[in-house]
Amino acid sequence: MANTSPVLEIAAGRYRADIATFGGGIKALTFDSKPLVETYPDGAYPPLSAGVVLAPWPNRVEDGTYSWQGTNYQLPITEPALNNAIHGFCNEVEWEVSECAPAAVVLRHSIAPQSGWPWQVEVEAVYRLADTGLEVVLSASTPETRPVPFACGLHTYLSACGAPADESRLHLPVTSHHLLNERNLPTGAFDKRSIVDQAIAEVEWDDCFHGPEGLVAEYTCAGQGVRLEMGPGLQWVQLYTPRDYPGRGRALAVEPMSAPPNALHDGVDIATIDSETPVAYRIHLSALETGRTIS
């Protein structure tokens, strides 16, 4: 069945972007017609979660179970092969278009109380293009007066102006690599590590990393590529190098996250929101050439 959810095009200067209402994310982003993210055909669903918003938790929850404010909850198992709940409630639904302008789109999705999740949460994704690139703001609010847990991420697959992943390199100054088990859940162990001009051809990743606030990923080939800046509260990042991205084979996902895998279960870096306390996270993507952002 074809994906008939609307896709909205925005433009500013030398940038163009397609924002998908299905999954609430980035379908395409180009600079001078060169891709800065991996895309997918019109009418297709986002392959391998390409570009979608991950909320109210990113990544996985072990056995779908967690405890909050002294109560235990059971989420639906959405990754049955590994018995996990994965990527939240926003990634496989059509979002509402709240605002649409030539250079900006605002999408909203209301998470209703449901099995394993007894709270109402309003998630908003703002995409705004300028001469300097694409600004993304992910925010969450709730009418609930009781505390509500929240975390989020964005499942971006970067593209170095269309170059194959195995000809591209990643620079990302994280400080630690958090080891995952066979279910892609944290073991609690970590090692000190940074990613400096790493050739993608030399790695196989489905790995979690942590770093200081203000993390910046630079993904390039022959001096051209894309820069992804992670704002305050986005100190976790999942790196994933599948071999089966449709039409591309190898690809690189750089997923900014506000909390690590299994955060709901382990209680690590989970934000608390209520009717008086929303949260917001910012991401910025721009073209990169010989080590400098271009516009």
3-state SS, one letter per residue, for 247-283: CCECCEEEEEECCCCCHHHHCCCCEEEECCECEEEEE
**pLDDT (average), residues 17-37:** 99
| Mean of per-residue pLDDT scores for the chain | 97
Report whether 105 contacts 10 (CB < 8 A).
yes
First to last CA, the chain: 39
**pLDDT (average), residues 193-217:** 97
Identify the band that residue 289 occupies on the pLDDT scale cut at 50, 70 and 90: confident
pLDDT at 293 over 80: no
At 61-72, the pLDDT tens digits run 999 999 999 999
pTM value is 0.96
At 209-236, the pLDDT tens digits run 999 999 999 999 999 999 999 999 999 9
Using only C-alpha atoms, what is the Rg of the chain? 18
**pLDDT (average), residues 274-280:** 98
Domain segments of the chain: what residues? 7-293
Report whether 12 contacts 54 (CB < 8 A).
no
Predicted pLDDT of residue 292 = 61
Q: Percentage of residues in the chain with pLDDT exceeding 70?
A: 98
Domain 7-293 CATH assignment equals 3.40.30.10: no
Displacement of CA 24 from its chain's centroid (Å): 11
